[in-house]
Structure 1
């Protein structure tokens, strides 16, 4: 490891572009003796695994759980959180094997990984503690035995939602004896997924009350700003936080790297993917086991392809580097995990799928190709590299986006800022009403019965009017023929994944792609990358949720072109500030993939484009918007193309600053430009054509709208989740500060005309785009500052 760091630090190719580095000093372990009351067999089993004492936080967690307190353990990656819940659960089962425990993990892969860990400890106990996974892959003939006999059931929120709670009479024995519910990685339960999951937990507690017990909840989380608040919001219970980490840690070197500028006039930097590839390759060639994180599935596959080629050039096996991401089939993922643990794989390139606690061994280096969007995720990924002794290295390679550039150029902001808050909104009406249907299917609702902290009376009456429920004898009974949980996805608008089939190999299943990503990655003529190899999509069966691909020799990949349209449904608040207006409300968003670009590997040349027409995807959500009145815009003496470029640049900068200001993930917010007064109509065909020749006309603006005398543009930032998660109202509240911080960002950038670090590339915003964005923003601030 020292050799690799020395090579980077002393290389004229890399060292000038290191903007900051920090050595996080090693930390010794802080130990605690086994608390009284732990079963001797358990102490003996732990001793056989080399555990003679507990870390301080493990002992504290055991004491809190033993006292009957709902607990959330918040410590870094690889700090021994697993033992914090296995210890009290196994100890209790050794004393009373009639008890039951439910373990919930956010993914099936993590469930399988933790099951193996649990089985290893149970085998040493030499006691029959029956432990099984129960998920979509569990054979039908095994399910009845698991329901009746399992002491510990390992599952995930999706299976609890649609495979366990709706069939609770079959689980009567299990629920009547349920003592513990373990929820791991609770920091992942944010946004729409977390809001759904909070309602699943309301349903779980309601079913538990029906059978008698009130189980104890044990939660684990990576470091976030509000673990107690998140756990309390999920559980609607008081929780005790255990966050005094006692685990040891070796020295960790954290490096911020900013790729060199290759065109000063345009402010263009060398590709961050190329820089991440070169840094990772240098470390791998030193024989250091390395994980590379990318921010998207496409970037993951591009890096896998690049690094496999580098291995071949060095005369080594290309399979020393593998990819790992959502969509790979389970057997392939298990193979890669085992290869990493056993040291047979030297490097792995992953999306955030490996942020979670899946066991891939202790790696020495981590290279991040782009800031993952949050401080919490950054520390999670950094935590994947580092042993309990010796030096580990973590490098963040910045992209050209304003958020990435801010982080690497303001390292003190990163070091001094706490991780983000995880926000959920379980009372989102669209989410809540779906889970009320599920809950009514499971057990009739009594009149006056609460659902968590909510009074559902109004919604129950609505469902009765819709003839979904029937009120009889003071109880609301399910009366529809449908099975509600089956049609409700916890993670997205649709629960239907697309299957990727290799048409050259008897339609062999290659991978799965979730519904939301399928239109942009599996449209016909797209290049689908799998393990770094290109496949051409020959046919997309949208109704059948299948895509047929064939391996090809291709020197390019594809990027989808997406058209979007936004319409205001309801304005909650609006304020006229003279030189601008601010507002927030409910909006309807339509997105549609209408084309694609071919991008050449390495050079990133645009090799051409093609047209695609796929079904529209619709969403109701909430938005904040800023409107520039026509008199203010007229005084700026800008041409129509300058106005368009300025609005596009300002929109990009506003979104970047909003994410930073709210400490939210950039994927939580999307942007749109349109006209507030015109957003109650369908868009004209001219506005929908992504191949039109008019330059720099963004989003919902048409060339004709830019020259109208009554043109008043609005810049929208909307929550990119159905129903919204509360970000837009916060932006409305900090409107003035948001605009001032955006002005500071644009003014501080040294580029003359615009670049990816402020308003966007010159090719997108035009030569006058940066100047126009500054003029529009200063004019808007004239009333709000």
Structure 2
């Protein structure tokens, strides 16, 4: 596009805009289509833009397109599912809420707005069309980020590779505890059952009993609460008390947002989309878990920005890469949302930035990190003034590329880069899990570090931009306004780092 991104970086037309155009074209042709979009806001925006385009073609078509996502009230979601089954709806813009556990049949086409993070999800989404043996269409629309750009230029990474192994940490109490509760709600948990849940289950059941969530009787442990245990579990996330989104003028409950996402999605001033209606968040009350919204029609969308600090709690494993070190272990991450960007919906052009004053959030999790020495910086010809930008660019690109090697989304992970970290005494780049206790992504990064960082280096060096863009080293999450970033120095730094990487076993 002719629009400019941050610091004048070139930007492509957004995948959301491309997806909306394709969805409108397919619906106008009578093709039953589901468009999978990475975020809730993106799904709402695709549906809204498609409706606007269809209104110019046939006034009867816009009502036949809708959005579908988590956070809707159950009755809203069931009504949408019935409308899709009956053919009343021709087009649906959905998050992965429709990928898992919802029976969808009779679709003619699937649009995928951005690589969903794993090959398993890609084929799951593409397979939603043509299930009765008929021909079908599946379209992957690349986004303006390092991973999608890499896959567009290396399609063999999708079509010649098997579905990846699932990455998880089954002993993580934040993962295991709610599933023990759900199991106990169905049938009493016995000593023999606990062996099926791994070595951590026995100790964790005792903790749940002391918290009053489980009670032990002769036949085993029982769920004690009136509400269903399964309702307390988010099979895709880390749980927590959901934030209710309430219309300020009427008190009407519009839906919910996961507690972990509230800081970045329903902060004061955020644009919130719900069933084709646009709202502005007037106030987020974190204590009462309520976001008050008012209907509005702003000419922009919003994207939150945050800053992150990290401290090393324990180094579990360390591998020498020549003079460099590759490490894996436990860390404490302190995160704070500091501002939000206002962007044009179609082009992604940045219109402005508004500061926010949000409380910090602390997370104990797992991370992979690498360090380099002063001698390696000299070898890479990275001057002291270039180091912050080189490390920062390498961090951004490595986060963007990790979903190719671990079953994660770039929003499931985070990173920090510092010219001199107090816990390592060296220039250090961290990539950490975004879930309490870790989700296995950082460990997977540690195990595949050679291939992961080589792909990162190639993604940066092969990008045609001059000094950095969203397709290589700029990040939509960056709380520092994507400054400083040094594309050329990042490539030289990664070259020196990778020169010391262990040779893979034959």
Partner-residue secondary structure (3-state), 1:581:
strand
Where 1:300 maps in the other structure, the secondary structure is helix
- Cα displacement (A) at 1:507: 0.6
- The equivalent of 1:495 in structure 2 is 240
Which one of the candidate residues 765, 776, 780 is aligned to 2:493? 776
The Cα shift of 1:476 comes to 11
CA 1:358 to 1:444, structure 2 compared with 1: closer, same or farther past 3 Å?
A: closer
Whole-Å Cα distance in 2 between the matches of residues 543 and 344 of structure 1?
41
Q: For 1:653 and 1:524, locate their aligned partners in 2 and report how far apart those are by CA, in whole Å.
A: 30
The change in CA–CA distance for 1:540 and 1:467 in structure 2 (over 3 A counts) is closer
* 1:593 Cα offset (Å): 2.0
**Once the 2 structures are TM-superposed, how far is the Cα of residue 456 of structure 1 from its aligned partner?**
5.8
For residue 136 of structure 2, the aligned residue among 357, 367, 392 is 392
Residue 273 (structure 1) aligned with residue 16 (structure 2): yes
1:445 positional shift: 8.1
Counterpart check, 1:574 vs 2:318: yes
Change in CA separation of 1:342 and 1:726 when aligned onto 2, cut-off 3 Å: closer
The whole-number CA distance in structure 2 between the counterparts of 1:562 and 1:611 is 10
1:206-241 deviation digits (Å, cap 9, x = unpaired): xxxxxxxxxxxxxxxxxxxxxxxxxxxxxxxxxxxx
Aligned to 2:71: 327
Q: Higher relative CO (CA 8 A, sep ≥ 6), structure 1 or 2?
A: 2
Spell out the pairing of 1:51-450 with structure 2 (5 A cutoff).
266=9, 268-317=11-60, 318-386=62-130, 388=132, 390-429=134-173, 431-432=175-176
Deviates more, 1:430-439 or 1:420-429: 430-439
Secondary structure of 1:316 counterpart? coil
Counterpart CA distance in 2 for 1:438 and 1:335 is: 27
Instruction: Name whichever structure is richer in helix by fraction.
Output: 1
Does residue 674 in structure 1 map to residue 455 in structure 2?
no
SS of residue in 1 equivalent to 2:386: helix
Look at both structures and tell me which one has the larger radius of gyration over its CA atoms.
1
Q: 2:183, 2:420 → 1: CA distance?
A: 39
2:435 aligned residue: 721
d(CA) in 2 for partners of 1:276, 1:461: 47
In the TM superposition, what whole-angstrom CA distance separates every residue of 1:426-474 from its partner, at most 9, and x where no partner exists? Answer: 222555577779999997987x99643645698389969x9999xx9x9
Question: How far apart are the structure 2 equivalents of 1:598 and 1:635?
Answer: 41
Task: Find the aligned partners of 1:281 and 1:560 in 2 and give their Cα distance.
Answer: 29
| Match among 417, 421, 426 for residue 712 of structure 1 | 426
* Equivalent of 1:753 in 467, 474, 490: 467
Q: Per-residue deviation at 1:623?
A: 0.9
Cα 1:400–1:359, aligned 2, differ >3 Å: closer, same or farther?
Answer: same
- CA distance in structure 1 between the partners assigned to 2:434 and 2:157 by the alignment: 26
In 1, the alpha carbon distance for the partners of 2:188 and 2:273 equals: 46
Normalising by structure 1, we get a TM-score of 0.56
Change (3 A) 1:548 1:662: closer
Q: Which runs of 5+ in 2 are unaligned?
A: none
Match of 1:195 in 2: none
Kindly state the Cα deviation for residue 641 of structure 1 after the two structures are TM-superposed. Answer: 5.4
For 1:627, the equivalent position in structure 2 comes to 371
Change (3 A) 1:419 1:563: same
Change (3 A) 1:456 1:311: closer
Structure 2 distance, partners of 1:529, 1:560, is 15
The answer (yes or no) to whether the contact 2:167–2:407 under 8 Å persists in 1 is no
For residues 406-555 of structure 1, what are the structure 2 equivalents within 5 Å?
Answer: 406-429=150-173, 431-432=175-176, 451-452=195-196, 454-455=198-199, 459=203, 489=233, 491=235, 492-504=237-249, 506-555=250-299
Label 1:449 to 1:290 Cα distance change in 2 as closer, same or farther (>3 A).
Answer: closer
Relative to structure 1, is the Cα distance of residues 677 and 515 closer, same or farther in structure 2, using a 3 angstrom cutoff? same
Taking structure 1 as reference, are residues 741 and 677 closer, same or farther at Cα in structure 2, changes over 3 Å only?
Answer: same
Give the alignment partner of residue 732 of structure 1, picking from 433, 446, 468: 446
Q: What's the CA shift for 1:666?
A: 3.8
Change (3 A) 1:426 1:282: same
Question: Does the CA contact (< 8 Å) of 1:579 and 1:782 recur in 2?
Answer: no
Cα distance in 1 between the residues matched to 2:275 and 2:150: 32
* Maintained 8 Å contact 2:64/2:91: yes
Q: Compared with structure 1, are the counterparts of its residues 484 and 613 closer, same or farther at alpha carbon in structure 2 (3 Å cutoff)?
A: farther
Change (3 A) 1:261 1:649: farther
After superposition, give the CA deviation of every residue in 1:397-448 in whole Å (9 maximum; x if it has no partner).
10121211222222233222222222333222555577779999997987x9
Q: 1:741 aligns with which of 438, 449, 455?
A: 455
Q: Does 1:613 align with 2:364?
A: no
Take 1:467 and 1:308, find their aligned partners in 2: how far apart are those partners? 49
Cα offsets for 1:184-217 (capped at 9, x unmatched): xxxxxxxxxxxxxxxxxxxxxxxxxxxxxxxxxx
Mapped partners of 1:457, 1:360: distance in 2: 36
SS at 1:268 equivalent: coil
* Cα pair distance change 1:280/1:306, threshold 3 Å: same
